[in-house]
Copies of this chain bind each other. A is one copy, B any other.
Amino acid sequence: MSSDAAPIEVAPSCPAPLVITDRILLGHGSGGQMTADLVARYFLPAFRNPYLDRLDDQAVLDIGGARLAFTTDSYVVSPLFFPGGDIGTLAVNGTVNDLAMAGARPLYLSAGFILEEGFPLADLRRIAASMSAAAQAAGVLLVTGDTKVVDRGKADGCFINTAGLGTVPPGVEISASGARPGDLVVLSGPIAEHGMTIMATRAELELESPIASDTAPLHELVRAMLDTGGELHCLRDPTRGGVATAMNEIARQSGVGIVLDEATIIVREPVRGVCELLGLDPLYVANEGKLLAVVAPWDVDRVLGGMRARADGRDAQIIGVVVEDPERLVVLKTRIGGRRIVDTLQGDQLPRIC
């Protein structure tokens, strides 16, 4: 966990490969560096305000005496149905989790459907049922919605946007900019399950040990962590771009470096097998039911205790440490004792994963 071990093998300030294009590319939707560039070049300058500039996955607003978290995500996953869930489950859990990552109690969702002419109503019924079950499980109400239909060939079956509203308890201040040197990084469980399930389904792989998406609401796990009274500085659910990208976002926004210990990051065997088969690094693969927390070192035992007492935090581990680093690098201590820089996802490793 210390940051002064073997020397780093990659030049520490290698610039991100600049993509020169006048068109949207699939990589702009990866959740990685290209998405960040797009946001930085096209959206932040147009809408500049202190809420958006924080680059968190939600805004925390003071409205009429209430402290509210507000977030949105569109879901374009392909295929719509996959082991462990479907686009409806994701659309509820994903937005619930973006609220939870501000320490908020999720309360209300909106839903906007964009449907393609010809989409089977039986599938729509199945998706609505999944959303209903997920909303009930997460204790949120879907209170307002909208439906649009576009002509055949102008969408891909069904896209769903959900926006979410929740209340942030007094005193809770969690943001990707809150990490400080000495803090420890906690991961709630095994990684890469959602992304590899989507990829395996898309590739129609016949797996000996079936794998399933980890899609799940995380707000109760967060509540349990807050209830320990431990100092939580950052929370992030490593979705598009995976653990690597989430760690880089925290490093960049907090102005720190992070050293991760590969041996402590769990990838279940069948998931690792699919990663190897498809040549993908699990650190970059999307999760939909895991969280990363940056915790004050003196509180980490308490927080871990609170997590491990629950089924969804049973495998929680300390996976890294926050260090001073003006280069804001994320470095991985590998199993074999080497060290490599873990950069933000650059391209479009896994398009349409959520």
Question: Which residues of A does B touch, CB under 8 Å?
Answer: 21-30, 35, 38-39, 42-43, 46-47, 49, 51-52, 57-59, 61, 63-68, 70-76, 78, 107-108, 110-122, 124-125, 128-129, 131-132, 135, 141-151, 153-156, 159, 161, 163, 165, 167, 351-352
Contact = CB atoms under 8 A, between A and B. Distances in A.
A46 B63 CA distance: 30
A97 to B, nearest CB: 13
A74 B146 contact: yes
B22 A61 contact: no
15 contacts: A22-B121, A23-B120, A24-B118, A24-B119, A47-B135, A61-B165, A63-B165, A63-B167, A70-B143, A71-B144, A73-B112, A74-B146, A151-B351, A154-B156, A165-B165
Given A28-B149, A151-B352, A110 B72 contact: yes
Given A23-B117, A24-B118, 8 more contacts: A23-B120, A27-B149, A30-B149, A49-B142, A61-B143, A72-B163, A146-B161, A155-B155
Please list the 4 inter-chain residue pairs (A to B) with the smallest Cβ-Cβ separation, ordered nearest first: A29-B149, A64-B66, A163-B163, A72-B110
Count of identical protomers in the assembly: 2
A74 B113 contact: yes
A85 to B, nearest CB: 16
Nearest to A34: B149
A64 B69 CA distance: 12
A143 B59 contact: yes
Given A23-B119, A120-B23, A114 B149 contact: no
Contacts of A120: 22-24
Contacts of A78: 150
Contacts of A39: 145, 147
Given A108-B61, A144-B58, A72 B118 contact: no
Contacts of A114: 74, 76, 114, 159
A167 B51 contact: no
A145 B23 contact: no
A41 B71 CA distance: 28
A144 B104 CA distance: 15
A190 to B, nearest CB: 26
A51 B144 contact: yes
A22 B126 CA distance: 13
A161 B153 CA distance: 20
Given A115-B28, A128-B46, A131-B46, A70 B147 contact: no
Contacts of A131: 46-47
A212 to B, nearest CB: 23
A79 to B, nearest CB: 13
A25 B145 CA distance: 19
Nearest to A154: B156
Contacts of A47: 128, 131-132, 135, 141-142, 145
A21 to B, nearest CB: 7
A95 B66 CA distance: 22
